[in-house]
Amino acid sequence: MNADVVSVTPGAPTALARAWLWLGIMALIGAGLLALLLVFSRTPGIQDVFPLKAFFRSALVVHVDLSVAVWFMAFAAVIWSALGNAGLPWLGWAGFALATLGTVVMTVSPFFPGATPSLNNYIPVLKQNVFYASLWLCGAGFFLAVLRALLTTYPRRTPGILAEPLRFGSFVGAVAAFFALVAFFWSWLAVPWLDEPIYFEVLFWGGGHTLQFQHALLMVVAWLWIGAHLGQTPVMSPRVLSVMFLVAAFPLLAVPLIYLAVPPGSLPHVELFVKLMRWGHPYMGPLILSGLVVLWGARKLPPHPAKSALLASFTLFGLGGVLGYLIQGANVVIPAHYHGSTVGVTLAFMGLAYVLLPALGFEKAEGRMAIWQPYVYGAGQMIHVLGLAWSGGYGVQRKVAGAEQALVTLPQKIGMGMMGLGGLIAVIGGIMFVLVCLKVMLPRKAR
């Protein structure tokens, strides 16, 4: 194994990366606890024993925001901190403090009165002032983290294997994040307030689509970093890799053009962002192939937690991508695609966390639990995704629970049963990740 792929600068970069990693793991713990309730509320047989239908939507809102918005942005800040220079530490710490406070407020918001859920795409919300405050706090914190990333990860010559293209990849990921956050704010200014779910759908539509480019770009950064740590580097030169990151980020130029051309919330605005997703993500094809080359080269290596995560991540992301082109109507094929793609990103970040732990001053993640954790989490999510995709083919609608699912045919029940079983296995895999990380991250008393 090559432990010196990219050196993390001591001082502020290391300290900030450690802090953001802690925030990400705490968000996963909260999301995992809520995931258990979500799975129970939709699993045939169990849903009748535990009448959680009323709690389902509020739990789903906070679960999604913690496990996707907070976890992804926190780990993105880990990457930006680890690859950036030591400049502007106050900006990083201010962002971390605001994002942490926002995460805490978000977690407790369902316990305050008036928590009416809106299950819109990308960033679902609770229509309540406490939850709104948490969004503004998190948004401000992550904006400061993105701003620091733009100023400290700008392209420059960097010593180390693959350090230069990884740094450039993280920079274009920060550009995508900046565009997404500006898009959120632009929509908030332009879209008139309506006390209806459609308001939040259009509010987060443009920025949510843009944010997917950030996740995908940083996922490839994680793949390449993991591969280099395992001694597997792509056959192309660092300069070619940097060009491939630039090509993958090229469709982002359409984001400000769409906002200038058509008003946010209008039908053309919605349709143009759908086309951006459909035709923009294929520009990542060369980067995806570079990840496949790394994965193929690592196939004969001895077991390693990061290797397990690399294989599981590529498999789930590929499955999610295929399902994205099979969506027809508002059924559970949509969350099947969504879960496959986002879980692919999550597994890549989990694998990179295993690589970074020693570089951040923690012990190595070793042992059978660490090696099997990505497989357990990935297998559970694959069963979960395939169950949703199967059920979607038989007309099961999304964002409903309990009797509202109208599971009347055997194929529908089999599919949602698979969803429940896979979800439970995935929760176990998520708990395993948290336990592996806490084992090496929590301070130990001297013997």
Higher pLDDT, 99 or 156: 99
Rounded to whole angstroms, how far apart are CA atoms 199 and 194?
6
Q: What are phi and psi of 397, to 5 degrees?
A: -85, 155
Higher pLDDT, 301 or 218: 218
Higher pLDDT, 322 or 210: 210
Region of 152 (left: φ > 0; alpha: ψ -120 to 50; beta: rest) is alpha
Domain boundaries, the chain: 12-441
Contact 176, 256 (CB under 8 A): no
Q: What is the pLDDT of residues 369-405, one digit of tens each?
A: 999 999 999 999 888 888 777 665 545 544 444 444 4
**Residue 43 identity (one-letter amino acid):** T
Q: What's the whole-model pTM score?
A: 0.89
For position 424, what pLDDT does the model report?
A: 81
Residues 6+ apart with CB under 8 A from 381: 316, 339, 340, 343, 422, 426, 429
If you write DSSP's letter for every residue of 291-348 in order, what string do you get? HHHHHHHTTTSPP-HHHHHHHHHHHHHHHHHHHHTT--SSBTHHHHHHHHHHHHHHHH
Whether the predicted pLDDT of 63 surpasses 60: yes
Region of 402 (left: φ > 0; alpha: ψ -120 to 50; beta: rest) is left
Question: Nearest CA to 85 among 145, 157, 171, 13?
Answer: 13
Beta strands in 96-240 (DSSP E): 116-118, 125-127
For position 54, what pLDDT does the model report?
A: 55
Query: 261 pLDDT band (50/70/90 cuts)?
Result: very high
Higher pLDDT, 258 or 417: 258
Q: What is the pLDDT of residues 273-306, one digit of tens each?
A: 989 988 888 898 899 988 888 888 888 889 999 9
Instruction: Report the largest interatomic distance among the alpha carbons of the chain, rounded to a whole angstrom.
Output: 66
Which range has highest mean pLDDT (141-155, 378-392, 409-423)?
A: 141-155
Contact 14, 357 (CB under 8 A): no
Rounded to whole angstroms, how far apart are CA atoms 208 and 420?
27
Residues 6+ apart with CB under 8 A from 238: 162, 164, 165
Residues 6+ apart with CB under 8 A from 297: 227, 232
> Mean pLDDT for the chain?
84
User: What is the number of helices (H) and of strands (E) in the chain?
Assistant: 17, 2
For position 394, what pLDDT does the model report?
A: 45
Q: What is the pLDDT of residues 331-342, one digit of tens each?
A: 556 666 667 788
For position 40, what pLDDT does the model report?
A: 63
Which range has highest mean pLDDT (136-145, 225-234, 278-287)?
A: 136-145
Alpha-carbon separation of residue 78 from 28, 242, 430 (angstroms): 15, 20, 19
Rounded to whole angstroms, how far apart are CA atoms 323 and 79?
28
Instruction: Compute the average pLDDT of residues 46-65.
Output: 67
Instruction: Compute the average pLDDT of residues 196-219.
Output: 92
Higher pLDDT, 44 or 247: 247
Contact 205, 269 (CB under 8 A): yes
Higher pLDDT, 120 or 155: 120
Contact 226, 352 (CB under 8 A): yes
Residue found under tokens 């530490």: 89
* Radius of gyration over every alpha carbon of the chain, rounded to an integer in angstroms: 21
Instruction: Compute the average pLDDT of residues 342-350.
Output: 93
Q: Which fold has domain 12-441?
A: Cytochrome C Oxidase; Chain A (1.20.210)
For position 22, what pLDDT does the model report?
A: 96
Q: In the chain, pLDDT over 90 holds for what percent of residues? A: 48
For position 425, what pLDDT does the model report?
A: 87
142, containing H or E segment:
helix 129-152
Rounded to whole angstroms, how far apart are CA atoms 214 and 117?
27
Query: 328 pLDDT band (50/70/90 cuts)?
Result: low
For position 246, what pLDDT does the model report?
A: 94
Instruction: Compute the average pLDDT of residues 59-76.
Output: 90
